[in-house]
Amino acid sequence: MTAAAAENHAFEADVARLLHMMVHSVYSDKDVFLRELVSNAADACEKLRYEAIANPALLGDDANSRITITLDPDLNRIVLEDNGVGMSREEMIEALGTIARSGTRAFMERITASQASEGAQLIGQFGVGFYSSFMVAEQVDVISRRAGTDEAWIWSSDGKGSYTVAEADLSDAPKRGTRITLNLSEEAKDYTSRWTVERIVKQQSGHVPVPITLIEKPGAEPAEITDGSALWTKSKSEISETEYADFYRSVSGQYDDPALTVHFRAEGRHEYTTLAFVPGAQPFDMFDPDRKGRMKLYVKRVFITDDAELLPRYLRFVRGLVDTSDLPLNVSREMIQESPILSAIRKGVTNRILSSLEKMAENEADKFKTLWDNFGAVLKEGIYEDFEKKAQLLALSRFRTTTSGDSYRTLADYVKDAKEGQSAIYYITGGNLDQLKASPQLEGFRARGIEVLLLSDSIDAFWVMNAPEFEGKSLKSITQGGADLAQFAKTDAPKDESEAESADKAGALADLIAFAKEKLADAVADVRSSERLTESAVCLVASEGGYDRQMEKILQGAGQLPSAAKPVLELNPDHSMVRAIAAQASDAAFREDAVHLLLDQARVLDGDKPSDPRAFAERLQRVFERASRA
Ligand code: ADP
Ligand code: MG
């Protein structure tokens, strides 16, 4: 059959690992292999249509794209054929012997980090392309002929470490495109059943823009099972919820239901149609460092690219497409980047998506809460990056606060319930919500019934630096500068002391503070009496100006801040321990140990370590010894 001897190639190491997992996967939903192969076939057809814009001869007398699935129950086989662009020998080796695409690479990285059993779950979520055929097949043969060439190649593998490539007879090959034959394993026999395959294809691939034909067994009458019409060209009233959801799944590669569907046609100066979805669950690549979007650009129903950045990066979780008739079909990459038409479209689509989100926030609060759980951290990047949309995004944002419990609060809620005379919106940032809730810096705010935003996403430390105000109130970190809390009464006021008593204590405290300032001068910028503490003895805050504590840590961690500014140590004047230390004015050695230990305690409360563990242990020991002698 082959015109030349087959060459043997080993798979790239990652592919071999992936295949091993595919074959041994206990994951029950093996149906995904069909979706993956159909989507590759459709991509190949779309690539050909795109190449044919510059080179119409490629289409020859066979201009209509099609995908044909032929079943063969007797031989336990399923064959998928497309008349798309096909692959040359080099393309085959590159595409089917290595891990070419970013999704598969991301998948492998996830797998390395997790258990194999979870890996099996992930296969279903990711699909992972062509290689998923080895979940059902013992042997896969791919014959392909690149459009416009007169040679064909056959790639074969049993998925166990290597594959062969050989030249194929033209008479055995499709005239153009690719034929994939899966020799199914015994357990996968059901995939030769017409009903099974028809159901799966309709469900998973019902809206790929290439018609799909099914042949029940060799020689049987072909039957078209999907018509390849572009769903987005129909009017909204003709499209059912289920059709939207199916389309969403095929365009996003996800399995959930969309949380939000935005379908509209812009007319007037620019003409384009958008069909976009906010996923119901987080896509796997949301926090990839390249922060790429996945909106596809079509021109007059021809797929052009998914690289046109049709949405700002903070909307990169949105999946879908824009189809416009305003651009020429042969639009180049450079043109795409500079096109004023595209920038107008980008603006229009962005506005529409934001206003749909606003509507949802208003009318379907519960749904929006879930959406915010999934994508809030990404949306907030826009507060930092998109000056024009900053106010809109701030209003859309949801926050955990000291009073929110498990629900969310908006800044409008916050401002409405702010204290008389309160000019700031207070916040604290940090890596973890529970830790934030336990921060000593919050105590004074709690005691006065002042709400504080608890910001625990990593992006928060950034946008707060340039968001800065909402309805006339500026945002203020409670771990930085003075707390200005004296003007607000505590909800449970402390019991009265005689004036003489409190003057005495104030004197002793001032004395202790002066002492601490001198002894800790290398480590802190200042020591002062705190308004923000009620239960804890001490806390650290940043000086006014510069960064707040959290931002300082992030920058230091990233090596961006060689010499951190010294923090301010605050002492709780009402705390029994602070008072007891203040009262021990005569024992200087004890006092020195005590103020160092107070500083270390503040560091620990801040999530850090004592700066000198050995000195810390020795001081602690001396203080214990002194206490046991007393
Ligand atoms: P992806 O589709 O995300 O690139 P796959 O693993 O599904 O990843 O496919 C790998 C590559 O193999 C494709 O990018 C494409 O270059 C090539 N390929 C797979 N199937 C076909 C096909 N039917 N026609 C042409 N090329 C194909
Ligand atoms: Mg694919």
- Can you tell me the distance from the alpha carbon of 291 to that of 288, in angstroms, rounded to the nearest whole number? 5
How far lies 1's CA from each of 83, 109, 246, 343, 604, in Å?
22, 40, 41, 54, 74
Q: Whose CA is nearest to atom 3 of ligand 1?
A: 101
Q: Whose CA is nearest to atom 23 of ligand 1?
A: 41
Q: How far is the CA of 59 from the centre of ligand 1 (A)?
A: 20
- Can you tell me the distance from the alpha carbon of 265 to that of 273, in angstroms, rounded to the nearest whole number? 4
pLDDT, position 553: 78
Q: How far is the CA of 104 from the centre of ligand 2 (A)?
A: 9
- With a CB cutoff of 8 Å and minimum separation 6, the contacts of 355 are none
Q: What are the tens digits of pLDDT across the range 294-322? A: 899 988 877 788 888 999 999 999 999 99
Ligand 1 atom nearest 96 alpha carbon? 12
Q: Is 432 helix (H, G, I), strand (E, B) or coil?
A: coil
pLDDT, position 518: 96
Tracing tokens 């042969």 back to the chain, one arrives at 330
Q: How far is the CA of 555 from the centre of ligand 1 (A)?
A: 42
Q: How far is the CA of 115 from the centre of ligand 2 (A)?
A: 24
Closest-approaching ligand to the CA atom of 39 = 2
Query: DSSP letters along 442-454, please?
Result: GHHHHHTT--EEE
What are the chain's domains? Answer: 7-228 (3.30.565.10), 232-364 (3.30.230.80), 380-477 (3.40.50.11260), 499-629 (1.20.120.790)
pLDDT, position 538: 95
Residue 353 and residue 318 in contact, taking contact as beta carbons nearer than 8 Å = yes
Instruction: Report residues whose beta carbon is within 6 angstroms of any ligand 1 atom.
Output: 36, 40-41, 43-44, 82, 84-87, 95-96, 100-101, 103, 129-130, 178
Q: How far is the CA of 36 from the centre of ligand 2 (A)?
A: 5
Q: What strands, in cross-sheet order, belong to the sheet with 400-401? A: 400-401, 452-455, 424-429, 473-477, 469-470
Residue 84 and residue 227 in contact, taking contact as beta carbons nearer than 8 Å = no
Site to substitute for ligand 1 among 12, 15, 18, 40, most atoms within 8 A of C-beta: 40
Q: Is 496 helix (H, G, I), strand (E, B) or coil?
A: coil
pLDDT, position 115: 58
- Can you tell me the distance from the alpha carbon of 86 to that of 586, in angstroms, rounded to the nearest whole number? 90
- Averages of pLDDT over each 10 residues, the chain, 630 residues: 73 82 68 87 92 92 95 98 97 85 64 60 65 92 97 95 94 96 96 94 82 96 91 93 90 89 93 96 82 87 83 96 85 78 95 98 96 96 93 96 94 95 93 90 92 94 84 91 80 62 81 95 93 92 81 77 82 94 90 96 90 95 89
Quick one: three-class SS letters along 578-610? HHHHHHCCCCHHHHHHHHHHHHHHHHHHCCCCC
pLDDT, position 1: 45
